[in-house]
Amino acid sequence: MSPLPTRPHAGVAIVTGGGRGIGRAIALAFAAEGLDVAVMSRSQDQIDSVKAEIETVGRRAVAITCDVSNKTAVNAAVARVREKLGPITVLVNNAGIHLAKRFSTVTDDEWQRIVAVNLTSLFYFTQAVLPDMEAANWGRIINMSSAAGRMGVPYAVPYNATKHGVIGFTRGLALDLARTGITVNAICPGWVLTDMVRANAEGLAANRGITLEQALESLVSTSPQKRFVEPEEVAHVAVMLLSDSARSITGQEIGVDGGIVVA
């Protein structure tokens, strides 16, 4: 029997949507674990700030603005990471957008945009980094789904559809790569008080004719723990998945949701 692959002493991670919220927490947690990190986002100011935070703990970092829905832009960004930091062995597909409105009012452009960002971007980034992982016989691909990928959420059909799709992508890819030393998993956060969740609450408020505060209370009331999940709680799971002890964890959807899905 061949020896089990082990994590390289030093690794390079890409975190999309890394400028704030969950992505920022993961990028900083990875740096604390000794990884060099490329953070990507649409906001240069946000990722520059995260880059500076990573560098304060002695790790290398690059901050790259990237349209994750554009294959040419993704390939160029990945090539820049290789040039600056080296081969990529960890990928966190975290970038995502939300749309809070009644299904009957969703336009073609809105549907195509959310599918491109929330789902097609995983295809682009994973294909771009996979040669590095295969060459290393080791890799970790972590896809950010959502509790909404495991259940229905009102006024969020496009988001529901894409986050269910993330789980399907994760399961299929995990089987494709099962004998390569590369694991593929999805994390499914519940309500984390990020800008995206605030935007969702604003849409919910508009659709139901209630205040933003009432909408936020409505969201958190669905959690058996009656609280929002902290970004660092999600990051802790991502760090756990880097471990060699987690090498048999693949193709999984891991809930960090305070029990929403089972309530």
Residue 69, pLDDT score: 98
Tell me which residue of 88, 45, 75 sits closest to 63, measured CA to CA. Answer: 45
- Cα 236 → chain centroid: 13
Length of the chain in residues, anyone? 263
pLDDT in tens, the chain (263 residues): 445 555 655 699 999 999 999 999 999 999 999 999 999 999 999 999 999 999 999 999 999 999 999 999 999 999 999 999 999 999 999 999 998 889 999 999 999 999 999 999 999 999 999 999 999 999 999 999 999 999 998 889 999 999 999 999 999 999 999 999 999 999 999 999 888 888 888 888 988 899 999 999 998 999 999 999 999 999 999 999 999 999 999 999 999 999 999 98
* Contact present, 33 and 13 (Cβ < 8 Å): no
Beta strands in 66-130 (DSSP E): 90-93
For the domain spanning 12-190+229-255, the CATH number is: 3.40.50.720
Tokens of 140: 């970790």
pLDDT tens readout for residues 24-59:
999 999 999 999 999 999 999 999 999 999 999 999
In the chain, beta strands by DSSP E: 12-16, 36-41, 61-65, 90-93, 139-144, 182-189, 253-256
Q: Which of 69, 65, 48, 97 is nearest to 200 (CA)?
A: 97
Catalytic residue positions, numbered: 159
Where do the domains of the chain lie? 12-190+229-255, 192-228
Percent of the chain beyond pLDDT 90?
Answer: 86
